[in-house]
Amino acid sequence: MSDLKFKISAHSESPARTNVKARNFEMIVDEPKELGGTDQAANPVEYMLAAFAGCLNVMGHLIAQEMKFELRGLEIDIEGELNPAKLFGKSDQDRAGYKQIKVCLKPDCDADKDTLEKWMHAVESRCPVSDNVQNVTPVKVEVVGKEAAGEGGCCCG
């Protein structure tokens, strides 16, 4: 299979609010009031957990079908803790991101414990968001002025 490319475009509406376009969908990213936002949408780290849940859901159903058991539904609870000191420039002691992420999958199915254990490991290993969260992914960040970025103003090709 050949690689798939996914991309988004975003612009800041305020220091704490970002409008994002992904394909034909528009999303708002905001911060809670105590972090300087208007609390009108999820914040970036909440969207990351939401993306993880969405990916686990898709993979859970796909792999259940491959393993030949009916997954009637899947509840997913995810939580993570981070220390905001680095993002606010107060300390470099902790990393800026989540220190740990805990995932609880509650499948509605009749599969036995051994099948669910194999299913869970397959879901975790094949979920692209899980892979990005658990492994180093090279990230290249560039600052490009409009005159250097070309007609579209974007450095991503």
Domain range summary for the chain, segments of one domain joined by +? 7-41, 43-135
Cβ contact 116:107 at 8 Å: yes
What is the model's pTM? Answer: 0.89
Q: Where are the beta strands (DSSP E) in the chain?
A: 9-14, 17-22, 25-29, 73-81, 100-108
Separate counts of helices (H) and strands (E) for the chain:
4, 5
Give per-residue pLDDT as tens, 106-154.
999 999 999 999 999 999 999 999 999 999 999 999 998 866 555 555 6
CATH number of 43-135: 3.30.300.20
**Rounded Cα–Cα distance for residues 25 and 21 (Å):** 6
For the residues 76-99, what does the mean pLDDT come to?
Answer: 91
Given this model, what pLDDT does residue 52 score?
Answer: 98
pLDDT of residue 12: 96
